[in-house]
Structure 1
Amino acid sequence: MVGRTTRILLSFVMVMAASMLGVAAGAGTARADGCYTWGRTLSQGSSGSDVTQLQIRVAGWVTSGERLSYDGQYGARTTAAVKKFQSAYGLAADGVAGPATFNRIYALQDNDCTPAHFTYAELNRCNSTWAGGAVPAATAKANALKTMWKLEALRHALGDVPITISSGFRSASCNSAVGGAAGSRHLYGDAADLVGSPSFCTLARQARVHGFSEILGPGYPGHSTHTHVAFDPSPYWSASSCGI
């Protein structure tokens, strides 16, 4: 695996090279690692699997209570999310995903497509197969990847303060062993329990603007020792001690 420092430096060199060659308006052709390469510039009106790949990486840059769809359609919401991503990383916030945006993403991800500061192992302390949950193993793993990119956005918005995950995907047996709810989102792979610093309330409040539709924290039964975030089709926030 290429070191993250090396990838960041490589991406910087590629952005500078593209600028010098006058190809900044073309598709991002540089490949910073073995995960995914975009072959064209994307903007509002674009559609396709490459748009879906972009949506996975910017879904954590939304407004309060908003959830970005992974539908492969580059609409107004995706444009707004790209703008927020660009602004957060010091890029021109025009909502167009071109070489500079893609190279920033390349610098943020590892060869397995996970964001720089999170791993599949952190999101699955139950078993290595991702099987036994409420959805097929491949779906649970894909859901975990989407969650990690939202957590990467949350982490960056908080000043790149490390965030520790105490629990992610659980099979039915793992969920039962820890006393999890029968319908827990952990069974779907899209949930994470956050501990350590920042404070639980800081995490719960900030999670509201990073695409999480289920947020449970201090004040909610059984959540005094962590903040729980997930992607629930039926949005529900409850952390009364934090004012939400």
Structure 2
Amino acid sequence: MVRRIGRTLAAFLLALTAGGLTVVATGTPAQADGCYTWNRNLSQGMSGEDVRQLQIRVAGYPGYNAELSLDGSYGPATTAAVKRFQQAYGLTADGLAGAQTFNKLYALQDNDCTPVNFSYAELNGCNSTWSGGAVSAGTAKANALVSMWKLQALRHALGDQSLRVTSGFRSYSCNSAVGGASNSRHLYGDGVDLGSGPHSLCTLAKQARYHGFTQILGPGYVGHNDHVHVADSPSRFWSAPTCGVS
């Protein structure tokens, strides 16, 4: 109930500002839920954990063939990503993270910091402990969170229609059971497979190029004619020949 009230308040404030009325904020930004609250406005040149938390949530807005570094430093790339996020949601696109931007992020996140349209359970059909993969359970879960925010950006760009997740994190045993590659990004928590639904696989593969995924595999690539795989690989590799993605 508290979370819903917080989101309603955030939406109300956004509606007021969009309608041309000025909302004067006093003190720190309102906390929408139990996840995270920003206590200062952020802009280029600043650094800290609050910047990194912002970067996680705008990781899906780096631009074509780019990836946003989650380093806690508010540089030009973060400024550009914030601008794209603001543009995507009809906010003032100045690249400054203030009340409007934070309130929109509060409205978009659940109590556990996941975006409202995705969940940890959805990205982990293997085991709830997130253990047994190529990285620690904490790292795998953190990687999955970033991927979810990228998926949220992809979903919004495609008209806020649902995305069908068919696979996420896998332990080595789970990966072996489904015949996954020995170096699969699923083992790291950032690999996600998407099935067709409201959108064709090629639509998904093409649009994913704009949302920070360094690995995109889809139709035409061996073993990927029935899904699109997106991930955060250390090196860029896109291959969905049927869709013209390379």
- Output the CA distance in 1 between the equivalents of 2:12 and 2:162: 27
8 Å Cα contact 2:114-2:149 kept in structure 1: yes
Shift of residue 2, structure 1, vs aligned partner = 4.9
- Pairing 1:138-153 to 2, within 5 Å after superposition: 138-153=138-153
8 Å Cα contact 2:155-2:161 kept in structure 1: yes
**Residue in 2 that maps onto 1:221:** 222
**Residue in 1 that maps onto 2:168:** 168
- Output the CA distance in 1 between the equivalents of 2:2 and 2:187: 32
**Residue in 2 that maps onto 1:9:** 8
Q: Which amino acid aligns with 1:71?
A: D
Please give the TM-score of this superposition, normalised by the length of structure 2: 0.93
**Residue in 2 that maps onto 1:187:** 187
SS of corresponding position for 1:120: coil
Once superposed, what is the RMSD of the aligned Cα atoms?
Answer: 1.6
**Residue in 1 that maps onto 2:129:** 129
**Residue in 2 that maps onto 1:178:** 178
Whether 1:46 aligns to 2:46 is: yes
Q: Which amino acid aligns with 1:221?
A: V
Q: Which amino acid aligns with 1:52?
A: R
SS of corresponding position for 1:166: strand
- Output the CA distance in 2 between the equivalents of 1:27 and 1:20: 16
Q: 1:237 to 1:2 in 2, by over 3 A?
A: farther
**Residue in 2 that maps onto 1:22:** 24
Structure 1's unaligned 5+ residue stretches are none
Shift of residue 9, structure 1, vs aligned partner = 1.9
Shift of residue 56, structure 1, vs aligned partner = 0.2
- Output the CA distance in 2 between the equivalents of 1:7 and 1:199: 35
Q: For each residue in 1:174-199, what CA deviation from the matched residue of structure 2 results, as whole angstroms up to 9, or x when unmatched? A: 00000000000000000100013211
8 Å Cα contact 2:214-2:235 kept in structure 1: yes
Q: For each residue in 1:122-173, what CA deviation from the matched residue of structure 2 results, as whole angstroms up to 9, or x when unmatched? A: 1000000000000000000000000000000000000001001000000000
- Output the CA distance in 1 between the equivalents of 2:241 and 2:27: 47
**Residue in 2 that maps onto 1:33:** 33
Q: For each residue in 1:86-124, what CA deviation from the matched residue of structure 2 results, as whole angstroms up to 9, or x when unmatched? A: 010110000000011000000000000000100000100
Shift of residue 8, structure 1, vs aligned partner = 3.4
8 Å Cα contact 2:3-2:111 kept in structure 1: no
Please give the TM-score of this superposition, normalised by the length of structure 1: 0.94
**Residue in 2 that maps onto 1:233:** 234
**Residue in 1 that maps onto 2:78:** 78
8 Å Cα contact 1:62-1:209 kept in structure 2: yes
Shift of residue 3, structure 1, vs aligned partner = 6.0
8 Å Cα contact 2:6-2:31 kept in structure 1: no
Shift of residue 14, structure 1, vs aligned partner = 4.4
- Output the CA distance in 2 between the equivalents of 1:74 and 1:227: 32
8 Å Cα contact 2:130-2:171 kept in structure 1: yes
- Output the CA distance in 2 between the equivalents of 1:36 and 1:140: 20
8 Å Cα contact 1:200-1:218 kept in structure 2: yes
Q: How many residues align?
A: 240
- Output the CA distance in 2 between the equivalents of 1:119 and 1:109: 10
Shift of residue 12, structure 1, vs aligned partner = 2.4
**Aligned-residue identity in percent:** 64
Shift of residue 79, structure 1, vs aligned partner = 0.2
Shift of residue 10, structure 1, vs aligned partner = 1.8
Q: Which amino acid aligns with 1:117?
A: N
**Residue in 2 that maps onto 1:57:** 57
- Output the CA distance in 1 between the equivalents of 2:57 and 2:123: 17
